[in-house]
Structure 1
Amino acid sequence: MRPQWGLWSARYGCADGYWQKNKYIKVYSILVLAEHKIELFELDRETRHQFINDISDVSRILNDTLSPIKINVEMQGNVVPHLHCHVKPRFETDTPGHARIFQGAGTAILPAAEFSAMRDELRERMSGNSKARC
């Protein structure tokens, strides 16, 4: 596993999922492509479709589990040149409110019991969501 990505959550079709323990962005998730590629267009059609499906599946699971008002999905890579996607559930109570989350918003660690309970529920929901590997 890649500890720099956060706490590993699950293996999807062609990506590994990780969670960040940041209470400002509750269950901030990152999906990291298993093979090393930098750009989405570098993937063959099947892998590209699977990666997008993985992102969609994680977004749906987070939505169904947490009932956010919005799921933000971001692919950047200017800091870490490896294809990955940030999946961020957004809530009316987010800090700094319903506005854009700025990079300098800060980090605060969720209490262990709260994080563990969310992790267990999400892992249970995600375990039945495995797909054929790319």
Structure 2
Amino acid sequence: MSDWRADRIGTALRGENPTVLGRLPGAFAVIGDVQWLPGYCVLLADDPHVGSLSDLSRPGRRDFLESMADLGEAVSQACRELDSEFRRVNLEILGNTDPFLHAHVWPRYEWESPALIRKPVWLYPAENWSDPATALGPEHDPLREAITRHLFRNG
């Protein structure tokens, strides 16, 4: 099997993406490969040919945005449970790099550096994306389980 990172949506559709938390209307909720801000998740559109929100039909947009809000709420509830210094969640749809529609769900914490706490996460050092110390691993299972529980508590 090839690296699932090369085809995140295709592997999610085939059940081969290990970061998938579950399927939502129009999207897959996944936990981030990196967890330097614990609870970081991504919402992947379930069609790899959709490049931006405007490519979706009006009902498709509604589904994607509601799924984004639901994932944000689940991350917020899980992080609040597990870290007393949880502050808030930031939601972003950027489209600058990857050619497929996705949204970032970034938890923010009081313990973050004062120089960065009120700034976009993209101002963190680029090395954070490849630091083995914060890579997704078994130590994140309790957080992953809490997010999934909150995401699907009514379903």
TM more than 0.5: yes
The answer for the alignment partner of 1:98 in structure 2 is: 117
Bigger helix fraction: 2
Q: Which moved more, 1:120-129 or 1:38-47?
A: 120-129
- Offset from partner CA, 1:81-107 (integer Å, 9 cap, x none): 100001101011135651432252523
- Offset from partner CA, 1:38-60 (integer Å, 9 cap, x none): 12111111110010000101111
Is the alpha carbon distance of 1:46 and 1:31 closer, same or farther for their aligned partners in structure 2, counting shifts above 3 Å? same
The answer for the alignment partner of 2:102 in structure 1 is: 84
Which one of the candidate residues 36, 42, 47 is aligned to 2:60? 47
Q: Which moved more, 1:110-119 or 1:10-19?
A: 110-119
CA offset at residue 128 of structure 1?
3.2
Amino acid at match of 2:60: T
Unaligned runs of 5+ in 1: none
**TM-score, length basis structure 2:** 0.72
CA offset at residue 61 of structure 1?
1.1
Q: Which moved more, 1:38-47 or 1:65-74?
A: 65-74
The answer for the alignment partner of 1:26 in structure 2 is: 38
Percent identity, please: 21
Q: RMSD between aligned alpha carbons?
A: 2.4
CA offset at residue 129 of structure 1?
4.7
Aligned counterparts of 2:19 and 2:75: Cα–Cα separation in 1: 16
**TM-score, length basis structure 1:** 0.81
Q: Which has the higher contact order (CA 8 A, sep 6+)?
A: 1
